[in-house]
């Protein structure tokens, strides 16, 4: 039986990827459809993806599939054939090609079976995720947003919205999709008769969100087909005005795709305009935050003086301090609720 998981260190795999000479293409895709045996489906697909050197993350559940991957350019057609042939429901599935891509987004293939491809916290058996709002293509989005009776809703997390969003989009201020869904219903209850247009990065969250809004009595619900990625690609192809401002946050090594030159966020440490996300170099912290080049140099890539002291320790001492540390709570925390120590010190001077 073939090995169905990686056995090589991340460092070695990353080095191998960086040594590749053939260009890679970064792709995201998803589909809500019923999978009877997610484990078997995952194992069959893993073998085929691994054979053509697909890297990235793919989540599989009874409700469908969600993937963000990269594939060598010469294997793109093979990848498409494998995915389309995995199930009749996947035949012709939309593939979102990255907007701003150097092909170095992933270096290992990880495929996991989950309870849901998007954790939503919904336990209502009457909820039907396949009963979604109407798709909007780029031109249709630009047209409907000219209507004063349209409300545009960003169904991404705070740290994504912070660096870039559609013009006049409403933020649902949360760090998790499961928190956002009931918040969106509450925030928009006074606008039930308006056009509710929802969007996210690649379409998977806003599609489910549109179904949830319909489930809660909203009538005129829409969502951007293919999310920000597909919208920008189509708008540029068709020479349409691009209504997205700033950077599109992405969940891979790049941490962002530049859409426009506008920098709408600020360094969390000094307050200067900046939209570069990074993770604190202290592995025991790993907080995601925005840091400018100047602060990165001064703070050695850390979020606080405390973390800076840890990373400057000898590796053995640093490892002892990290041992047993729960990093999960610090990943993607809402930075506005976690003011960084450096920022406090600067403002006090």
Based on the domain organization, do 96 and 139 belong to the same domain?
no
Count of other CB atoms within 10 angstroms of residue 261: 8
Taking the C-alpha atoms of residue 282 and residue 309, their distance in angstroms, rounded to an integer, is 9
When the pLDDT of each residue in the chain is averaged and rounded to a whole number, the result is 85
| Domain annotation covers residue 96 | yes
Respond yes or no: is residue 200 known to be catalytic.
yes
Q: Kindly state whether residue 236 falls inside one of the protein's structural domains.
A: yes
Residue 330 contacts by C-beta under 8 Å, 6 or more apart in sequence?
A: 280, 285, 286, 287
Distance CA(29)–CA(314), nearest Å, equals: 43
20 and 59 co-located in one domain: yes
Residues 29 and 71 in one domain: yes
pLDDT band per the 50, 70, 90 thresholds, residue 245: very high
Per-residue pLDDT of 254-295, as tens digits, reads 788 899 999 999 999 999 999 999 999 988 888 889 999 999
Looking at the domain assignment, is residue 257 inside a domain? no
For residues 253 and 262, the answer to whether their CB atoms sit within 8 Å is: no
Of 232, 228, 277, nearest in space to 253 by CA = 277
Do the domain assignments include residue 124? no
3-state secondary structure of 251: coil
Q: 143 and 234, same structural domain?
A: yes
191 and 96 within one domain: no
Residue 46 is assigned to a structural domain of this protein: yes
Query: Based on the domain organization, do 221 and 307 belong to the same domain?
Result: no
| Phi, psi torsion values for 157, nearest 5 degrees | -80, 165
Residue span of the structural domain in which 189 resides: 134-246
Same domain? 242 vs 311: no
- Residue 231: is its pLDDT beyond 90? yes
Helix (H) or strand (E) holding 277: strand 277-279
Question: Is the residue at 315 inside a domain?
Answer: yes
Name, in order, each residue with C-beta under 8 angstroms of 48's C-beta and a sequence gap of 6 or more. 82
Whether the pLDDT of residue 102 is over 80: the answer is: no
Here the CATH number for the domain that contains residue 57 is 3.30.70.100
Residue 239 lies in a domain: yes
Scan for tokens 């400057």, then name that residue: 312
Q: Which of 278, 122, 144, 277 is nearest to 213 (CA)?
A: 122
198 and 150 in a common domain:
yes
177-188 vs 204-215: helix crossing angle, rounded to 10? 50
Q: How far apart are CA 315 and CA 104, in angstroms?
A: 28
In terms of domains, do 194 and 240 share one?
A: yes
164 versus 99: the higher-pLDDT residue is 164
* Order of all β-strands in the sheet with 24-32: 96-97, 24-32, 64-72, 55-61, 109-113
Per the structure, the count of domains in the chain is 3
CATH number (domain holding residue 150) = 3.40.250.10
**Would residue 78 count as lying in a domain?**
yes
Choice between 149 and 253, residue whose per-residue pLDDT is larger: 149
Both 94 and 156 in a single domain? no
Give the contacts of 163 (CB within 8 A, at least 6 positions apart): 246, 247, 249, 256, 264, 265, 275, 277, 290
Out of 62, 80, 113, pick the residue that ends a domain.
113
pLDDT, one tens digit per residue, over 110-134 is: 999 999 888 888 888 888 888 899 9
**145 shares its domain with 218:** yes
pLDDT tens per residue, range 165-186? 999 999 998 878 989 999 999 9
* CA–CA dist 80, 281 (Å, integer): 37
Q: Kindly state the average pLDDT of the residues 186-206.
A: 93
Shared-domain flag, residues 30 and 98:
yes
């Amino acid at each position: 039986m073939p090995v169905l998981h990686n056995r090589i260190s991340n460092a070695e795999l990353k080095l191998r990827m960086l040594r590749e000479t053939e260009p890679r293409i970064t792709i995201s895709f998803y589909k809500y459809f019923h999978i009877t045996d997610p484990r078997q489906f995952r194992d069959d697909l893993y073998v085929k993806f691994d054979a053509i050197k697909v890297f990235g993350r793919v989540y599989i559940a009874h409700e469908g599939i969600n993937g963000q991957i990269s594939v060598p350019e010469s294997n793109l057609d093979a990848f498409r054939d494998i995915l389309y042939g995995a199930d009749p429901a996947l035949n012709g599935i939309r593939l979102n090609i990255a907007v701003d891509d150097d092909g170095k987004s992933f270096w290992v293939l990880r495929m996991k079976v989950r309870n849901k491809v998007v954790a939503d916290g919904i336990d209502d058996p009457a909820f039907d995720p396949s009963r979604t709002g109407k798709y909007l293509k780029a031109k249709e989005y630009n047209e409907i947003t000219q209507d004063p009776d349209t409300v545009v809703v960003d169904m991404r997390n705070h740290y994504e919205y912070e660096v870039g969003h559609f013009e006049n989009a409403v933020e649902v201020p949360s760090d998790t999709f499961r928190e956002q869904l009931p918040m969106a219903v509450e925030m928009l209850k006074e606008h039930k008769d308006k056009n509710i247009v929802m969007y996210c990065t690649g379409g998977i969250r806003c599609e489910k969100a549109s179904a949830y809004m319909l489930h809660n009595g909203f009538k005129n619900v829409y969502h951007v087909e293919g999310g920000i990625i597909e919208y920008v690609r189509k708008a540029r192809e068709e020479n349409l005005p691009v209504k997205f401002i700033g950077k599109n946050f992405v969940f891979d090594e790049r941490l962002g795709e530049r859409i426009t030159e506008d920098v709408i966020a600020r360094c969390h440490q000094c307050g200067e305009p900046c939209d570069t996300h990074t993770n604190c170099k202290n592995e025991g912290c790993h907080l995601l935050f925005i840091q400018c080049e100047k602060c990165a140099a001064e703070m050695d890539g850390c979020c606080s003086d405390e973390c800076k002291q840890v990373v400057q320790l000898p590796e053995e001492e640093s490892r002892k301090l990290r041992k047993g540390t729960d990093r999960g709570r610090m990943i993607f925390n809402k930075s506005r609720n976690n003011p960084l120590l450096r920022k406090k010190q600067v403002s006090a001077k």
